[in-house]
Amino acid sequence: MMIGGEHKAIPRAALAECWSCKGPVSVQAIFCHTCGAAQPPRQIDHFARLGFEPGFDLDIDLLEKRYLGFQRSVHPDRFANKSARDRAMAEQQSVSLNEAFETLNDPLRRASYLLQLKGQTASVAKDQTVDDPALLMEAMEAREALAEAESVEAIEKLAIKAGADAINLLSEISKAFAADDLAAANRLTTRLKYLRKFLEETRARRVALESF
């Protein structure tokens, strides 16, 4: 399973040609600054698409604000009187913006995508087995403890601990990326995946217990 698209980091200042006026236009531009025509989404990474430098630390409020603003600018209502080609461009932009936002908004997908941009395949994006005995041991013990938890309180306790671990993990992942230690970032991202899965299971088990 691949998470995100096959994007490579490309120079952000690169120029393309506007399909409408043939003038030069930035690869990041949604609209041509000369003629105003909506541009096709070009091969740029998700960070560039939403106006960020690639990095794990992201201002999530700003990310959402930009995403919503960009989406509004390509909303179909604005293109009702435009040509079919303009409408198609706007639609494609909307799809690309959506994919970029979905990828960057989730720390797990963001980490996996960032590893990919840096030329690494994230373990969580591979059909391979984990080679991290400590992590597997921890995951097995956690799942066993969950299987044995017989009360909502006991499950809640496990969930709270896992939730706190997941938050701590985010700052560890951030540090690993800041230090450009991609091996560590990759390992920690896999850990985050396991914690997420565990949290999902605690919710499922709670629902199962409460429905009796």
Residues that bind another protein (CB under 8 A): 1, 123-130, 132-133, 135-137, 139-140, 143-144, 147, 190, 193-194, 196-198, 201
Query: Rounded to the nearest whole angstrom, what is the least distance from the CB of residue 169 to another protein in the complex?
Result: 13
For 24-39, give the DSSP string. Answer: EEETT-SB-TTT-PBP
Nearer to another protein, 1 or 84 (CB): 1
Query: Rounded to the nearest whole angstrom, what is the least distance from the CB of residue 42 to another protein in the complex?
Result: 29
Query: Rounded to the nearest whole angstrom, what is the least distance from the CB of residue 139 to another protein in the complex?
Result: 5
Nearer to another protein, 62 or 204 (CB): 204
Residues 6+ apart with CB under 8 A from 153: none
Looking up tokens 């990310």 gives: 63
Query: Rounded to the nearest whole angstrom, what is the least distance from the CB of residue 144 to another protein in the complex?
Result: 8
| Contacts for 112-115: CB closer than 8 Å, 24+ residues apart | 112/3, 112/4, 112/189, 113/3, 113/4, 113/46, 114/54, 114/55, 114/56, 114/177, 114/185, 115/182, 115/185, 115/186, 115/189
Nearer to another protein, 18 or 139 (CB): 139
The CA dihedral of 95, 90, 72, 30, to the nearest 10 degrees, is 90
Nearer to another protein, 70 or 194 (CB): 194
Nearer to another protein, 25 or 139 (CB): 139
Query: Rounded to the nearest whole angstrom, what is the least distance from the CB of residue 64 to another protein in the complex?
Result: 27
Residues in the chain: 212
Query: Rounded to the nearest whole angstrom, what is the least distance from the CB of residue 124 to another protein in the complex?
Result: 5
Nearer to another protein, 118 or 143 (CB): 143
